[in-house]
Amino acid sequence: MSLLVIHNISLPPGQFGTNDIPAFFCNTLNIDKHPYFKTIGELQVSAHCLIERTGKVIQFVSFEARAWHAGQSLFEGQDNCNDYSIGIELEGTDDIPYTDAQYHSLIRLTKVLQQLYPLITPHRITGHQDIAPNRKTDPGPSFDWQRYKSALA
C-alpha cells in the first residue's frame, strides 16, 4: 500500500453514535430503520478502518486487502486508488469539527501505517475530496490538515 485516504461518514447523515456505520460496512444495514438508508441499501462499500467520535478504532478490512472506499479516483495520474490505498473513515461530516479523540487515534494509526508501509509518506496522505474532486467533498473543511500533518512530523 502506498496511499492513505481520509474520509468521513455519518449514518444517518449528521447523526453520530448510531452503530449504523459498522452495519453499512458489513452489508447488514437495516434499510427500514431510516428513509436515507433506502438510498444506500444496495451499495457495497468498505473502509479499512473507522474512527468513531470517541476515538475508538474499528477495523473492517485487512490492510493487506483491497477495500472499496475510493470509488472512481485518481492520484498523481494513477487511477483506481482502491488498488493501492488504505481508507480511514472518520465518523463525522464536512462541516462539524472532528473530536480531539479522533485526531489522537488517527495520528497514532497513521504512524503505525507509515512504519508498516514506508511508501505512505506525508505527501501520499490525502482526502477523498482530492482523489475524487468532482464527486466527493470529504473529509471537508472541518478537517484540520495542519494539526494532523504537523503531529506526524
Q: In this structure, which CATH number among 1.10.357.10, 3.40.50.720, 3.40.50.2000, 3.40.80.10 belongs to the domain 3-10+46-152?
A: 3.40.80.10
Of 42, 52, 76, 89, the active-site residue reads 89
The alpha helices in 11-126, defined as continuous H runs, are: 20-25, 37-40, 100-116
Q: Please provide the average confidence, as pLDDT, over all residues in the chain.
A: 97
DSSP E strand stretches across 24-96: 49-51, 57-59, 74-75, 78-79, 85-91
pLDDT of amino acid 17: 96
Kindly list the domain boundaries of the chain, sorted by start residue.
3-10+46-152
Q: Cell 488498488 appears where?
A: 83
| Residues contacting residue 115 through CB under 8 Å, at least 6 positions apart | none
29-32 contact pairs (CB < 8 A, 24+): none
- Residue 89 annotated as catalytic: yes
22-79: per-residue pLDDT in tens? 999 999 999 999 999 999 999 999 999 999 999 999 999 999 999 999 999 999 999 9
53 contacts 106 by C-beta, under 8 angstroms: no
